[in-house]
Amino acid sequence: MATDIETAACVLNQAQENFDKAWHIHWEEDVIPLDEGKFWEILDHFINILVDEHDKTKLDAIERATMELARRAWTGQYWKGCNIVVNAFDLDDVIDFTKRWDDYKERLFHILFDVVKDRGDDSYGDFIDALPLAGRDIVNKCFDELYVYKALEADIRELELIYDSGLDVDLILHGESYFSSRLKDAIKHYYAKKIKHDFSRDTLGVIEAV
């Protein structure tokens, strides 16, 4: 006979499986890519978080940055120095932001497949996954098929000179960064927290009304 803790563990595992399936359906059928203008606004915010986390320590900086972006989206605010700053975006925006990142990644993969040279399959996939970090101008030039690879790489390297943020372009050129999958993990985590929080608040409201 199962103990209470074993039963609870089974219930928890089943609940997680059910949520994973429901999340997958929601992601595939309901989530749409964010408006491109707002995507680039949130990307600037994300890059600032990424630079802050990378400056602290390079270890797990990308995972921490994606989680921090989703956390700020969920809470609606964050600390900057001694001040609280209210976000111009919410969790739904960051979920759609992640969908747009996936959309860009898929389109760039096909457009640049015959352009990018001297990379194996894994290295090419890592490069494409991180390429949205290069910003609107470079990504749009890729979509317009205006690049040979050396010119694309040169423009990415120039970002270190023109970016006030201090973005390390090796995250784009040489990183195994998994931005897309880490963003998905972060938004899924905070979406579950949001549902739990909203459900608890609504349930409490019903109890208080009774």
Q: What is the pLDDT of residues 47-101, one digit of tens each?
A: 989 988 887 776 688 999 999 999 999 998 887 777 888 888 999 999 999 999 9
Nearest to 170 by CA among 203, 137, 130: 130
Q: What percent of the chain has pLDDT over 70?
A: 90
Rounded mean pLDDT of 154-174? 78
Rounded mean pLDDT of 170-179? 86
Residue 28, token pair as written in the block: 């595939």
Rounded Cα distance, 68 and 184, in Å: 13
Q: Is 79 helix (H, G, I), strand (E, B) or coil?
A: strand
Rounded mean pLDDT of 173-178? 83
Q: What confidence category does residue 160 fall into, taking pLDDT thresholds of 50, 70 and 90?
A: confident
Per-residue model confidence as pLDDT tens digits over 11-35: 989 989 999 999 999 999 999 999 9
Q: What confidence category does residue 202 fall into, taking pLDDT thresholds of 50, 70 and 90?
A: low
- What does the pLDDT read at residue 60? 86
Q: Is the pLDDT of residue 197 over 90?
A: no
